[in-house]
Amino acid sequence: MPLTRLIFLLLLSAMTLCAGAQALPPEVEAALARAKLPRDAFSVLVVDAEARMPPRLSQRADVPVSPASIAKLATTFAALELLGPAFTWSTPVYVEGPVRDGTLNGNLYIKGQGDPKLVAERLWLLLRRVQGLGIRSITGDIVLDRSAFDTGTQDASAFDGEPLRPYNAAPDALLLNFKSLVLTFTPQEGNARIHLEPPLAGVALPPSVMLTGGECNDWRGGLKADFSDPARVRFAGAYPAACGERTWPIAYSEPRSYAARAIGGMWQQVGGTLAGQVREGRVPAGLPATFELASPPLAEVIRDINKFSNNVMAQQLFLTLGLQQRGAGTFDAARGVIQQWWRERFGGEPPSFGNGSGLSREERITPAQLARLLQAAWASPLMPELMSSLPVSGVDGTLRRTRGKAVGLAHLKTGSLRDVLGVAGFVQGASGKRYVLVAIANHPQAHAAGPAIEALIDWVARDS
């Protein structure tokens, strides 16, 4: 689309978004009444994706609200424009010392550079590539360089007092498997076998737990798990046989030591030996990289970020913007990058950005600003990458359980915090027209707004 045409559309959008509020559809009003949510707790904007028409529906469109994970739309679209959809992260590996008869006589260095998807299977691949160099034994240390990001000390319990929830994992230049454990319970002849992924060096785990009868209800609570000791996982309860095989992802209780334990455990699992230790340090100046492990491309990474609302991956991407654009992997640098991008792309004062994921009480953005972002995305050659990253109503991601009649007709980013519930994205109307929809509730009982949001999605899709 020519630049002049795009500017015209955005100016038209800016004018029309300021239109006065209209009555909400009766089914939405009824759902809000049933939920006992006041009308002024619900912000709504429905506009033509191509910015050709006045708003179809507008309420509190210019009032800043807390967006929760809807904030990931700004992070991911900015990254697509500033880094490009084919951008990849690299994790370089350095070999210091000679390799003789399968032994590295020196240190192995692994430098983290923010890869958001260095999960267990890719860590296994990295260490297998080390072995492909003829290295089976290391006389020195495995040194982990995490200096690319500087986020200070972060308390995993600070946000909501839930330090073991995986969504509270903190970003890290060498983020391995989201600093999380995955426990798999498989019933076998009177016991439930326990499998830990990835293996963690120095962490003791019972091989099994007793089976019990009864229904598969609160099976996690019934295990009476104790994760307080980072070196030992305990279960004082039992596992219901009726559950079959189940998995339990959980954040590791000592996140700072996670990378060292994961690499130590995985190196041992692939048959490697280590005379020294896994420790933190810096790559010596001038030492060339022996090889680099590349991440999946950004277009693939944002699918995980948006479809499953992965907070730590969003923060990794946010910090990467600071690192790539300003040479500093800090939140301040990242905020500076995205604010400058917003001013140059949309003009005016940018929203209040936090950590890029929406897992923040400080972030504020108006529905009108979100709509302008989505209209610009619709007009962008990068539209397919962003749109395909969004959950599809009733089909996948965080919208897979959505009820209503608009199954498959909406691509929407969801947002949810204790006092926030909302969606923002695109809805296909029965007429074939595509709409931008933003609907966000900010209220202590915001989670009761779910039926009103579903009714609104159906109303937008039923435009004829």
Going by C-alpha positions, the residue among 417, 420, 419, 412 that lies closest to residue 456 is: 412
Angle value at C-alpha 143, between 142 and 148, nearest 5 degrees: 145
Q: Would you list the DSSP string of 48-71? A: ETTS-S--SEEESTTS-B--GGGG
Q: Report pLDDT for 205.
A: 94
Q: Domain 90-155+257-294 is of which CATH architecture?
A: 3-Layer(bba) Sandwich (3.50)
Tokens encoding 333: 């640098």
| Mean pLDDT split into 10-residue runs, the chain, 464 residues | 46 44 88 96 97 93 98 98 98 98 98 97 98 98 98 63 67 96 94 96 96 94 95 96 96 94 98 98 98 98 97 97 98 98 97 95 96 98 98 96 91 97 97 97 97 97 86
Tell me the C-alpha distance between 113 and 173, whole Å.
Answer: 5
Q: What is the pLDDT of residue 276?
A: 98
pLDDT reported for residue 164: 57
Which fold would CATH assign to domain 3-86+298-461?
Beta-lactamase (3.40.710)
Whole-model pTM: value is 0.92
Provide the sign of the torsion angle of the four alpha carbons 233, 234, 237, 239, taken in this order: positive
Quote the pLDDT of residue 166: 61
Give the closest residue to 436 by CA, choosing from 444, 423, 445, 427: 427
- Region of residue 348 (left: phi > 0; alpha: psi -120 to 50; beta: else): left
Helix (H) or strand (E) holding 425: strand 420-428
Q: Cα dihedral angle (38, 39, 43, 45), rounded to 10 degrees?
A: 160
Which region, left, alpha or beta, applies to residue 240 given φ > 0 means left and ψ of -120 to 50 means alpha?
beta
CB-CB contact of 280 with 264 (8 Å): no
Side-chain-facing half-sphere of 357: CA atoms under 13 Å: 25
Domain spans, the chain: 3-86+298-461, 90-155+257-294, 166-255
Handedness of CA 25, 30, 33, 37 (dihedral sign): negative
Which pLDDT score is estimated for 464?
A: 63
pLDDT value at residue 353: 96
Terminal-residue alpha carbon distance, the chain? 28
Give the pLDDT score at 6: 46
Amino acid letter for position 445 = Q
What pLDDT sits at residue 51? 85
Helices (DSSP H) in 239-330: which residue ranges? 258-269, 298-307, 311-326
pLDDT for 189 equals 86
**pLDDT, position 3:** 47
| Residue spans of beta strands (DSSP E) within 12-113 | 42-48, 57-59, 90-96, 99-100, 103-104, 107-111
